[in-house]
Structure 1
Amino acid sequence: MTTAMPKRQDINPQLKWDTNLLYNSPAEYRKTLQEYKDMVAQFEEDFKGKLIDSPTITAALKRYEECLVIDSRLMHYGFLNLDVDKMNVELAALANEYQLIFAATAPRLSFLETELGLQDEKLLKQVISEQPQWTSYLENIIRQKPHQLTADQEELLANFAPTFRQAYDNYETTKFEDMTFSNFEANGQTYQNSYVLFENDYEISHDTELRRASADSFYKTLRAYKNTTATTYLAHVKNEQIQAKLRGFDSTIDYLLFPQNISRELFDRQIDVIMKELAPHMRRFVKLMAKSHGLDKITHADLKISLPSDFNKRITPEESKQFLMDCLGVLGEDYVKMIQQAFDERWIDFAQNEGKATGGYCATLYDGPSYILLSWTGLMNEVLVLAHELGHAGHFQLAKKQSILNYEPSLYFIEAPSTANEVLTCNTLLKESDDPQFKAYLISELISRTYFHNMVTHLLEAAFQREVYTRMDKDEYLNGDILCDIKLQLLKDFWGDDFEIGEDAGLIWMRQPHYYMGLYPYTYSAGLTIGTAMAKQLEEKPEEVVATWLETLSLGASLSAQDLAQHAGVDVSTDKPLKDTISYVGSLVDQLEKLI
């Protein structure tokens, strides 16, 4: 018997997201693409070289907002459809049509921020006083002044901008179109392997033979593409390094932190404190899980297992709706209505099918739905992923109170609402149960999904990034083997000598698309630090905290990440929230030791 992934066309429509909420047909999408191209050309004609007074700047920014809203809708329609069916030539053509329009229009829009950056600071502050909805956006332009290039240089870079994502596109092509995973044998049965099957099911399976055999099969294929993937990734890093030098930053890391408006101290703190202080708790946890499974050794293929339990039953998407509405009900009636809407209007793609992107994400349109990508397994692990992505949805639906120019907060804060939902969901269930076995199961899932994923998996990726950027800035030679050595050593440093971290573990760096999105991985642990503190507050004094938390989410990018956290009652200028979070994980492991 061989398990196989179904084709997209064979999936029940109720398990697919509905992108017709954006455009009724490809014809309507194509028509809007052309209209948008004309709109941008008119924008350039009306405002280029004319941003010399407050009324003109105000008129330009209002039109610019309109352009951004339409561009977002077009981009999402082009790529959301392709993300769930990457081998579909017609969908690839639709996405390519957007890319061509983007390549033609992005340079024609780029003059706006360049010319604003060249204006006298007094003029920009005058616009801020008259149009406070753009305060954060314009203050950020003022902040960028020391790193701005000449108008001609900025325009040249803008024309090259479409090529800057080529490394990511190449990575995705290698991952989803070129990689072919061989079938493998486990327990006398033949299984098909793929990114989706491995990452969403096999890797966390409680069947040791299946889990380890799937890992052998998976990493065998990754190894065959190691050098191609390394060349792709290092080209991306070199691109960032060149831009950092052009703009006068001391390091590539400083350049990448600048848009987040976060200090190097906060970045390093997340990595160094977690590597040192969380590692002992996670080692205890994994050893407990290994003992519960009767393992005589712990390999890198065993790190993500949770507690074996009779409670680990499959949950349908429909069952998960009421489950999450109940657990997140403390956030209020409007928040629950948003969850209901996400299910009823089919914002969520639950399907597991051939050619679908891996992992999970939430992509919100400023004037539309929050689309959530999953590959639904029905396990508690996946329910927590959905709670996480609904956290992003709730955040950005609330942030629409801001201008689209002040909409997306710093990456440092971006994962706080999502991780808070995960912790809140599990802690709500823990409070409601008196069954020690169920409590042990939930704690196991909370640690293995929420804390492991955000403060181990992604944190180790952040440590890997820091090492790569540091070496590149020192002009050290890097290749696929060296990248594997860096990753392997970081894993061994974190897990210590009691774990058998084999050579294949060095290939784990190849799995993460976030490496092509700046310094994203460390922000998961930063967000979870804030999220853990907020979940605790929401549980202990909801009547005082809920309104403040929802207001914080509605502020979008109108405050810095530190100020947003402070507004919600979490002071990340100190290491206390991070150390409190690590202590909380330690207390969860303590509880597990008593329960099992």
Structure 2
Amino acid sequence: MTNAMPKRQEIDVQLTWDTSLIYPSHEAYQKGLADYKAQVEQFEKDYKDKLTSSEVIVRALKEYELIQTINSKLSHYAYLNLDVDKMNAELAALANEYQVTLATSYPKIAFLQTQLALLDEAMLNEVSAQEPQWTSYIQDILRKKPHQLHPLQEDLLANFAPTFGQPYRNYETTKFEDMTFENFTANGQSYGNSYVLFENDYEISHDTEIRRQSAAGFYSTLRKYKNTTAADYLSHIKNEQIEAKLRGFKSTIDYLLFDQNVSRELFDRQIDVIMKELAPHMRRYVKLVAKAHGLEKITHADLKISLPSDFNQRITPEESKQFLIDCLGILGEDYIQMIEQAFDERWIDFAQNEGKSTGGYCATLYDGPSYILLSWTGLMNEVLVLAHELGHAGHFQLAKKQSILNYDPSLYFIEAPSTANEVLTCNTLLKQNQDPAFQAYLISELISRTYFHNMVTHLLEAAFQREVYTRLDNDEYLNGDILCQIKLDIIKEFWGDDFEIGDDAGLIWMRQPHYYMGLYPYTYSAGLTIGTAMAKQLEENPEAVVEKWLETLSLGASLSAQDLAKHAGVDVSTDKPLKETIAYVGSLVDKLEELV
């Protein structure tokens, strides 16, 4: 058998991230938990029902900043260690210690925002004038004030808050602890299968039998857990639905968009325009790739492959360091130093091992590293994932210029720096090598990774979410079979009648953890819309644009998503940037048709 997953302890430590940068030992972490609990109890004693002057409020907010910073360290240490070794009982126990501490501590500090919102607006404005670094934080409290509940109700919700995350924990338990995938046979050889192997390697393999047989085995396992996963997902939405009604929103979608400070118009535009206008370009692209692979039919298992090419060679993590520095060097010396630091100080977990979380992400401590999770294959697809996650790292390292209270921008903007890095990486390489074969290879990688992932995969998830939320708000009955049918219908609508989309495709909704994070999936296409425009500006006029772009990233949440984009020179109040992004994808397909 090939591709059996190694245990975590068998992995070369140089391929793993170093969480000792947060706490040097488990014991230091546990002491940090005890200190944090005591600090929270003192905070409640000092400030609850005592926010009577701007001086007291300023002291409270400064201590609250410190509490939030410590919480960032504790949560990252707890979950980062577990995310790479989910079957490790010791690490699970350490994460549980954090969950228990948070369950008792969060209600003790939740009073702060509730009681600030009850104060006279003039006093809050006085605090903003004294401490301008908190202006957007205070403005957000005032924005949410009409939807605030009675303090006793807010206190009750704060006490129940830990249970609201239970559906997601159930989902992860099913995914990482209960699901086991049987071996599959392709080309007369037996292969191990898993989430990591399928999503990072098999699904994009140029070997048709490996690709299709791995998919058949993968989805046969998912199908066994369809109803349990549906129950978890629907219970998560019902929690959101209840809170939306309590806070006086017309729909659950309106409630979730309000939290992002984004209009319903922007949300619907991303879905409707892409479903209609990007689909024809992507259909052309997939047919072109399928023809190059000699496929007589195109199934759902074939949609994510790129053009066959001799350039599709694997590189090592160490080789990717200089590769990305060369591609992203336009962003300046400080940005290059951040990339070097990420490699040299082991912020990146490259390993593929049993029990590791799937996909890729970047998790930044407010006063520490940006930890990047990957499952490294060495293919260009994975190099672009690393460029993407380094974009998040660069963003949040720069955003530390803001208070931790003004740190996290709206989800609508969050994927712009990451996707801009992907486009910038490919466009830099295209300029460096004019060989038509290389150009065709790289354009294909750019479409099949960057644009497919962010503007097809995640966008179809967004369309699915919109339909599910709408049906639940209309009190319709949903279960696993209905969720599969909704997903299948949306996929077929996008791809049309020329593709053989089988019933297994309906199970794809089960793969996405972002469904438990509000309306996250649509923001990938929103971010890529901004990212595509920024990559173009950075190439055309780097001297004028780089400084402005980095300044925008340093603003954190001090501006709304629309204003952040506008500050960088992209006006998303109209559909012009989105339509230009779609046209750019069309032009890439046009060029491929000339080259192939």
- TM range, smaller chain: over 0.9
Partner of residue 292, structure 2: 292
Q: Distance in 1 between matches of 2:2 and 2:328?
A: 39
Residue 125 of structure 1 and its aligned partner are, at CA, apart by 1.1
Partner of residue 49, structure 2: 49
After TM superposition, list the pairs within 5 Å mapping 1:575-594 onto structure 2. Answer: 575-594=575-594
Residue 317 of structure 1 and its aligned partner are, at CA, apart by 0.3
Q: Distance in 1 between matches of 2:51 and 2:281?
A: 56
Say if 2:62 is the partner of 1:62.
yes
Q: Distance in 2 between matches of 1:3 and 1:568?
A: 44
Q: Could you tell me which amino acid in structure 1 is paired with residue 41 of structure 2?
A: A
Partner of residue 205, structure 1: 205
Residue 206 of structure 1 and its aligned partner are, at CA, apart by 0.3
Q: Distance in 2 between matches of 1:199 and 1:283?
A: 22
Partner of residue 497, structure 2: 497
After TM superposition, list the pairs within 5 Å mapping 1:22-421 onto structure 2. Answer: 22-421=22-421
Give CA deviations for 1:1-34 in whole Å, capped at 9, x if unaligned. Answer: 3430000000000000000000110000001100
After TM superposition, list the pairs within 5 Å mapping 1:427-506 onto structure 2. Answer: 427-506=427-506
Q: Distance in 2 between matches of 1:551 and 1:430?
A: 27
Q: Distance in 2 between matches of 1:221 and 1:482?
A: 18
3-state DSSP class of the match of 2:310? coil
Q: Which runs of 4+ in 1 moved over 2 A?
A: none
Q: Could you tell me which amino acid in structure 2 is paired with residue 246 of structure 1?
A: L
Q: Could you tell me which amino acid in structure 2 is paired with residue 522 of structure 1?
A: Y
RMSD: 0.4
Residue 130 of structure 1 and its aligned partner are, at CA, apart by 1.2
Q: Distance in 2 between matches of 1:327 and 1:45?
A: 52
Q: Are 1:117 and 1:141, in contact at CA under 8 Å, matched by a contact in 2? A: yes
Q: Distance in 2 between matches of 1:330 and 1:2?
A: 41
3-state DSSP class of the match of 1:372? strand
Residue 453 of structure 1 and its aligned partner are, at CA, apart by 0.1
Q: Are 1:327 and 1:428, in contact at CA under 8 Å, matched by a contact in 2? A: yes
Identity across the alignment (%): 79
Q: Could you tell me which amino acid in structure 1 is paired with residue 69 of structure 2?
A: V
3-state DSSP class of the match of 2:559? coil
Q: Could you tell me which amino acid in structure 2 is paired with residue 380 of structure 1?
A: M
Give CA deviations for 1:534-565 in whole Å, capped at 9, x if unaligned. Answer: 00000000001000000000000000000000
Q: Distance in 1 between matches of 2:288 and 2:393?
A: 35
After TM superposition, list the pairs within 5 Å mapping 1:554-593 onto structure 2. Answer: 554-593=554-593
Q: Are 1:257 and 1:264, in contact at CA under 8 Å, matched by a contact in 2? A: yes
Residue 210 of structure 1 and its aligned partner are, at CA, apart by 0.3
Partner of residue 10, structure 1: 10
Q: Distance in 2 between matches of 1:58 and 1:292?
A: 64
TM normalised by structure 1 equals 1.00
Give CA deviations for 1:125-184 in whole Å, capped at 9, x if unaligned. Answer: 111111110011000000001100011000000000001100000000000000011111
Q: Could you tell me which amino acid in structure 2 is paired with residue 488 of structure 1?
A: L
Q: Could you tell me which amino acid in structure 2 is paired with residue 476 of structure 1?
A: E
Q: Could you tell me which amino acid in structure 2 is paired with residue 459 of structure 1?
A: L
Q: Could you tell me which amino acid in structure 2 is paired with residue 95 of structure 1?
A: A
Q: Distance in 2 between matches of 1:526 and 1:482?
A: 28
Give CA deviations for 1:504-561 in whole Å, capped at 9, x if unaligned. Answer: 0000000000000000000000000000000000000000100000000000000000
Give CA deviations for 1:351-395 in whole Å, capped at 9, x if unaligned. Answer: 000000000000000000000000000000000000000000000
Give CA deviations for 1:465-484 in whole Å, capped at 9, x if unaligned. Answer: 00000000000000000000
Q: Are 1:283 and 1:495, in contact at CA under 8 Å, matched by a contact in 2? A: yes
Residue 209 of structure 1 and its aligned partner are, at CA, apart by 0.2
Q: Could you tell me which amino acid in structure 2 is paired with residue 437 of structure 1?
A: A
Give CA deviations for 1:74-126 in whole Å, capped at 9, x if unaligned. Answer: 00000000000000000000100000000010000100001001111111111
Residue 407 of structure 1 and its aligned partner are, at CA, apart by 0.3
Partner of residue 508, structure 1: 508
Q: Could you tell me which amino acid in structure 1 is paired with residue 137 of structure 2?
A: Y
Q: Distance in 2 between matches of 1:2 and 1:136?
A: 54
3-state DSSP class of the match of 1:296? coil
3-state DSSP class of the match of 1:3? coil
Q: Are 1:423 and 1:446, in contact at CA under 8 Å, matched by a contact in 2? A: yes
Residue 294 of structure 1 and its aligned partner are, at CA, apart by 0.3
Partner of residue 538, structure 2: 538
Q: Could you tell me which amino acid in structure 2 is paired with residue 356 of structure 1?
A: K
Q: Could you tell me which amino acid in structure 2 is paired with residue 187 of structure 1?
A: N
3-state DSSP class of the match of 2:372? strand
Q: Could you tell me which amino acid in structure 2 is paired with residue 561 of structure 1?
A: A
Q: Distance in 2 between matches of 1:4 and 1:234?
A: 34
3-state DSSP class of the match of 1:352? coil
Q: Could you tell me which amino acid in structure 2 is paired with residue 201 of structure 1?
A: D
- Number of equivalences: 596
3-state DSSP class of the match of 1:328? helix
3-state DSSP class of the match of 1:199? helix
Q: Could you tell me which amino acid in structure 2 is paired with residue 471 of structure 1?
A: R
Q: Are 1:3 and 1:190, in contact at CA under 8 Å, matched by a contact in 2? A: no
Q: Distance in 2 between matches of 1:89 and 1:298?
A: 43
3-state DSSP class of the match of 2:530? helix
Q: Could you tell me which amino acid in structure 2 is paired with residue 265 of structure 1?
A: E
Q: Could you tell me which amino acid in structure 2 is paired with residue 49 of structure 1?
A: D
3-state DSSP class of the match of 1:572? coil
Residue 272 of structure 1 and its aligned partner are, at CA, apart by 0.2
3-state DSSP class of the match of 2:185? strand
Q: Distance in 1 between matches of 2:277 and 2:65?
A: 45
Q: Could you tell me which amino acid in structure 2 is paired with residue 328 of structure 1?
A: L
3-state DSSP class of the match of 1:143? helix
Q: Distance in 1 between matches of 2:498 and 2:320?
A: 38
Q: Could you tell me which amino acid in structure 2 is paired with residue 507 of structure 1?
A: L
Give CA deviations for 1:56-89 in whole Å, capped at 9, x if unaligned. Answer: 1100000000000000100000000000000000
Give CA deviations for 1:202-249 in whole Å, capped at 9, x if unaligned. Answer: 000000000000000000000000000000000000000000000000
Q: Could you tell me which amino acid in structure 1 is paired with residue 23 of structure 2?
A: Y
Q: Distance in 1 between matches of 2:66 and 2:248?
A: 33
